[in-house]
Amino acid sequence: MAIQLRIHVPPHPLIKHWLGVVRDAQTPTTLFRSAMTELGRWLTYEAIRDWLPSIETTVQTPLAECPATFINPQVPVAVVPILRAGLALLEGAQPLLPLASIYHLGIVRNEETLEPSCYLNKLPEQFDPETRVLITEPMLATGGTIMAAMTELIKRGVNPAFVRIISVVAAPPALQQLGTHYPSLVIYTAIIDEGLNSKGFIVPGLGDAGDRTFGT
Ligand SMILES: O=P(O)(O)OC[C@H]1O[C@H](OP(=O)(O)OP(=O)(O)O)[C@H](O)[C@@H]1O
Ligand SMILES: O=c1cc[nH]c(=O)[nH]1
Ligand SMILES: [Mg+2]
């Protein structure tokens, strides 16, 4: 049976609410940033339910012994925010994954060619092959940025089957590239939009996520 990219759009009213806020061109920077943080929180909550490794044991309550399930601290967990815009999603993701290591990746698209270039890479030389990796990247547009990020991770021993991406707006060109190259990937996004305009912006999208997050 062929493996196929799984794209989840969680039908959660909080995710829909905060998506509406970030889409609105009238939303000021401070509210935009906190809405992105909320999206990071709820998308992470959804994305990690069958991904975060746990261990079965028992505990003694005041009355009796009973089964208990805990997060397995032996399995490494990493969060990779794609700067700049992925930083606001990280704010929401990090409190849910307090044991995770955070490895920043700064990637920017050239505004004319749309080619990505990496200006900051804090990834370790090698990952433990068991590492669970959560990428926070709000915009999956042409796919250039996320494909560049995946190349850096795979080079360092990450198993794509253990990678989850949280995104706010995803567009077909990025999803097609990811599906072709990494069919075992799992993506959680607030919405899938129709496509891109001639400047590589997602339509209807939410504009430039980095500029709107940081007021630039
Ligand atoms: O799928 P792609 O076509 O590569 O586009 C997606 C990327 O574009 C934006 O980054 P940008 O280059 O604007 O950098 P910024 O986050 O610093 O604003 C966005 O935050 C994504 O990282
Ligand atoms: O619509 C888009 C596409 C790429 N990056 C953004 O910030 N917005
Ligand atoms: Mg930008």
Query: What is the domain range of residue 94?
Result: 6-51+77-207
Segment 177-204 shows an average pLDDT of 97
Report if residue 58 sits inside a domain.
Answer: no
Report the separation in Å between the CA atom of 197 and the middle of ligand 3, taken as the mean of its atom positions.
Answer: 15
Is this prediction's pTM over 0.90? yes
Instruction: Calculate what percentage of the chain has a pLDDT beyond 70.
Output: 100
Segment 33-47 shows an average pLDDT of 98
**What is the enclosing helix (H) or strand (E) of 105?**
strand 105-109
CA distance 8 to 74: 28
Report if residue 158 sits inside a domain.
Answer: yes
Report if residue 67 sits inside a domain.
Answer: no
Q: In this predicted model, what pLDDT tens digit does every residue of 65-111 receive, in sequence order?
A: 999 999 999 999 999 999 999 999 999 999 999 999 999 999 999 99
Report if residue 216 sits inside a domain.
Answer: no
Task: Give the chain's domain count.
Answer: 1
- pLDDT of the residue at 30: 98
Contact (Cβ atoms closer than 8 angstroms) between residue 103 and residue 122: yes
Q: In this predicted model, what pLDDT tens digit does every residue of 3-39 receive, in sequence order?
A: 788 999 999 999 999 999 999 999 999 999 999 999 9
State the CATH number of the domain containing residue 176. Answer: 3.40.50.2020
Report if residue 144 sits inside a domain.
Answer: yes
Is a pLDDT exceeding 80 seen at residue 1? no
Q: Whose CA is nearest to atom 18 of ligand 1?
A: 210
Task: Using alpha carbons, list the distances in angstroms from residue 113 to 3, 11, 116, 179, 209.
Answer: 32, 35, 9, 23, 18
Report if residue 86 sits inside a domain.
Answer: yes
Predicted complex ipTM: 0.98
Q: In this predicted model, what pLDDT tens digit does every residue of 127-164 receive, in sequence order?
A: 999 999 999 999 999 999 999 999 999 999 999 999 99
- pLDDT of the residue at 4: 87
- pLDDT of the residue at 3: 77
Instruction: Calculate what percentage of the chain has a pLDDT beyond 90.
Output: 98
Q: Whose CA is nearest to atom 8 of ligand 2?
A: 208
Helix 172-181 / helix 144-155 crossing angle, nearest 10 deg: 20
CA distance 93 to 45: 8
Could you identify the atom of ligand 1 that is nearest to the CA of residue 143?
1
Report if residue 68 sits inside a domain.
Answer: no
Average pLDDT, the chain: 97
Report if residue 213 sits inside a domain.
Answer: no
Mutate to test the pocket of ligand 2, among 114, 189, 201 (most ligand atoms within 8 A of CB): 201
Segment 109-117 shows an average pLDDT of 96
Q: Whose CA is nearest to atom 10 of ligand 1?
A: 108
